[in-house]
């Protein structure tokens, strides 16, 4: 996991920044923009989750290939952790008083200081805490992924695809509440279109994959092949996953005490 992360994390950061710069290019290359110097100043803020997931997936593919690990089950393994991390990361919007929703008088309305209120909303004090909505939604997705994987024995990348589909479903209605400036297409925020298209793609993948490759991967499929056995592969040959069948069930002879004659895992 750490070996793949060495590729996935930097690619994810670069991908997230590229998506932000491309979708908010007027901040850097429009009138009064900060230019290329501002575009690379990632410490000033600006990461797009869509680009981060895409870039991270590319980095994970490279890392998995170097270690001889199949990418789809790796994606299934990390999907719950990714959405849980997103739930935690959204609280950064609360600290920065940013990316909140429309004004509201609901009891859980978020109080925003006047300096952070958008133009035209100076008279309002409390706004929809969209960061909280998304954090709670992501937490719910986390539990759904764990449940669905155990209930339906999903595999071949379908847990990751379910994460993408559910996250996109939540992002559509949460994005519709936000009032921060954003580029629009046909009257809808760009991130709404992205969520719809990516979410539909994930649903199609789940349906097609379940038909073509039902169930989980076999131990042989999880093992893959050792890097170096194929001249097109890179790596040191130490990363192939071996999944002995004995680790998936208790194979002690009848009557033997735990720890003798086989596995004792539950």
The 10 Å CB-count burial string (b at 16+, else e) for 47-75 is bbbbbbbbbbbbbbbbbbbbbbbbbbbbb
119 and 160 co-located in one domain: yes
User: 51, 70, 89 — which closes off a domain?
Assistant: 70
pLDDT tens per residue across span 72-87: 999 999 999 999 999 9
**pLDDT at position 70 over 90:** yes
Same domain flag for 14 and 57? yes
Where a domain ends, among 24, 50, 70? 70
Domain end, chosen from 13, 40, 70, is at 70
| Statement: the pTM of the whole predicted model exceeds 0.85 | no
pLDDT tens for 140-183 read 999 999 999 999 999 999 999 999 999 999 999 999 999 988 88
20 domain residue, yes or no: yes
138 and 57, same domain (yes or no): no
pLDDT tens by residue, 99-131:
999 999 999 999 999 999 999 999 999 999 999
Report pLDDT for 225.
57
Mean predicted confidence (pLDDT) in 23-45: 84
Mean pLDDT of 39-44: 85
- Cβ partners under 8 Å of residue 250, min gap 6: 262, 263, 264, 265
Query: Could you tell me the pLDDT band of residue 49, with boundaries at 50, 70 and 90?
Result: confident
* Same domain, residue pair 180 and 54: no
Pick from 46-50, 101-105, 187-191, 252-256: least confident: 252-256
Tell me, yes or no, whether 241 lies in a domain. no
Q: Is 65 in the same domain as 137?
A: no
Nearest to 99 by CA among 64, 132, 76: 132
pLDDT digits (tens, 9 = 90+) for 198-252: 999 999 999 999 999 999 998 888 876 545 544 444 444 444 444 444 444 444 4
Domain range for 85:
80-216
DSSP-assigned letter for residue 107:
T
> Rounded to an integer, what distance in angstroms lies between the CA atom of residue 94 and that of residue 90?
8
Surface-to-core class of residue 3, CB atoms within 10 Å of its CB (0-12 exposed, 13-18 middle, 19+ buried): middle
Residue 222 belongs to a domain: no
Percent of the chain with pLDDT over 90: 64
pLDDT of residue 233: 46
First to last CA, the chain: 23
Distance between CA atoms of residues 233 and 203, nearest Å: 31
Distance, C-alpha 195 to centroid of its chain: 13
User: Are residues 190 and 151 located together in one domain of the fold?
Assistant: yes
Q: What pLDDT, in 10s, does the model give residues 11-23? A: 999 999 999 898 8
Q: Are residues 91 and 195 in the same domain?
A: yes
Nearest partner of 130 among 168, 181, 91, judged by Cα? 91
Pick the closest to residue 71 from 236, 245, 217 (CA basis).
217
Residues 201 and 138 in one domain: yes
When pLDDT is cut at 50, 70 and 90, the band that residue 55 belongs to is very high
Beta bridge partners of 103: 127
**Given a cut of 50, is residue 64 above it in pLDDT?**
yes
Question: 221 lies in a domain?
Answer: no
* Other Cβ atoms within 10 Å of 89 Cβ, number: 15
Flag whether 243 is in a domain.
no
Distance CA 190, CA 166 (A): 18
Q: What is the pLDDT of residue 39?
A: 86
Does 186 lie in the same domain as 109? yes
Distance CA 110, CA 16 (A): 27
Domain assignment present for residue 237? The answer is no
Residue 189 in any domain: the answer is yes
Helix and strand numbers (H, E) in the chain are 10, 4
Same domain, 103 and 155: yes
Domain match, 185 and 131 both = yes
Q: Is residue 181 part of a domain?
A: yes
The reply to whether 106 and 64 lie within a common domain is no
The average confidence (pLDDT) of the chain is: 85
Asked if residue 260 has pLDDT above 60, the reply is no
Q: Could you give the number of structural domains in the chain?
A: 2
């Amino acid at each position: 996991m750490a070996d793949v992360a060495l590729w996935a994390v930097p690619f994810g950061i670069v991908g997230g920044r590229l998506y932000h710069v491309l979708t908010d290019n007027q901040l850097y290359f429009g009138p009064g923009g900060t230019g290329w110097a501002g575009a690379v100043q990632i410490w000033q803020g600006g990461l797009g989750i869509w680009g981060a997931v895409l870039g991270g997936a590319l980095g994970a593919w490279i890392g998995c290939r170097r270690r001889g690990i199949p990418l789809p089950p790796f994606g299934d393994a990390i999907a719950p952790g990714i959405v849980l991390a997103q739930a935690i990361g959204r609280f950064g919007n609360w600290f920065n008083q940013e990316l909140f929703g429309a004004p509201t008088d609901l009891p859980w309305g978020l109080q925003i200081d006047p300096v952070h209120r958008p133009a035209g909303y100076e008279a309002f004090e409390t706004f929809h805490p969209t960061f909280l909505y998304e954090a709670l939604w992501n937490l719910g997705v986390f539990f759904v992924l764990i449940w669905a994987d155990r209930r339906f024995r999903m595999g071949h990348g379908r847990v990751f695809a379910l994460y993408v589909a559910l996250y996109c479903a939540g992002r559509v209605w949460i994005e519709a509440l936000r009032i921060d400036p954003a580029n629009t297409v046909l009257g809808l925020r760009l991130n709404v279109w992205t969520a719809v298209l990516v979410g539909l793609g994930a649903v199609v993948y789940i349906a097609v994959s379940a038909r073509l490759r039902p169930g989980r991967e076999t131990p042989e499929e999880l093992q893959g092949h050792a890097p170096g056995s194929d001249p097109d592969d890179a790596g040191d040959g130490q990363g192939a996953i071996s999944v002995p069948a004995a680790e998936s069930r208790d194979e002690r002879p009848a009557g033997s005490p735990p720890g003798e004659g086989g596995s004792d895992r539950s």
